Amino acid sequence: MQSKIGLIGIGMVGRPAARYFEEVKGLERGRDLFLYDSNPAKNANDDINQAELVFICVPTPRSKDGAADLSYLEAVFEKLSGEKIAVIKSTIPPGTTEAFQKKYLQHKILFNPEFLDAKFAWEQFIKPPRQIMGFTSASREIAPAVLALLPKAPFTSQIAATEAELVKYASNIHYARKVNFVNIVASLAEKLGVNYDNVRQAMAADYRIGDSHLDVLHGGYRGFAGGCLPKDLSAFIAHLEARGLTEEAELLRRDSEFNRKLLASQGLELEDMSVPDHDLVAQKKLNGNGPKAP
């Protein structure tokens, strides 16, 4: 598939994507690669409408009611002219790609989630464990060609866009709940006077559990923060409520409250769901409240 490629949003997802298309795929900026970000400091103000295929990597922050704010995504589609292949990489509630496809019939819209940690975004982008392409009925036939442009992965899947959106949310909610659970285990280990790290290593040896998210002091504090898990948990709770799944939403709301209290016990507040991890650690040090190691 030979196309002029555009990237909108040069942040944690867009930055490694731009590097991949330049360094690995050999695209030349301004000729067959066009970058755009509203932040002047990013030095990305290309004419994105020269691209035929556009990857959208804009934020979907937490709105006042907890749901995902899709206004940045909406603004992107208002900017696109002509007929594009639009690949959304932003985290969006299930059903969003289909809704945008119905609204913007001139485009073929896909959803391609990313599963990146800020610290290892480049390494994880070029060597992903899974590569998922979600399609609508209008974009289904071009999904294989777009998937072929991206880094290869041991697991690849072409599924309905709504299924792919649910994969992204379900993954992040699982990580959040896992962090909460191991903090409970770590607190119990402390009460019992035993070494949590020994428990952790034995748990991680089970391939069904693995070592991911078992470090209760990841980032220098206990609990989860950063730009993904808190806002995605909040958005998923709002989505469940909107679908009438109130008991399920309440269960996850208790997860959110548990995490808030855990952070508060270390002098941390999570009012801004997009605060980066390193800023939280700095705030912790400023407050003079260090995390309690189990």
Known catalytic residues are 228
Query: 77, 49 in Cβ contact below 8 A?
Result: no
Helix H, strand E, coil C: the string for the chain is CCCCEEEECCCCCHHHHHHHHHHHCCCCECCCEEEECCCHHHCCECCHHHCCEEEECCCCCECCCCCECCHHHHHHHHHCCCCCEEEECCCCCCCHHHHHHHHCCCCEEEECCCCCCHHHHHHHHHCCCEEEEEECCCCHHHHHHHHHHCCCCCEEEEEEHHHHHHHHHHHHHHHHHHHHHHHHHHHHHHHHCCCHHHHHHHHHCCCCCCCCCCCCCHHHCCCCCCCCHHHHHHHHHHHHHHCCCHHHHHHHHHHHHHHHHHHHCCCCCCCCCCCCHHHHHHHHHHHCCCCCCC
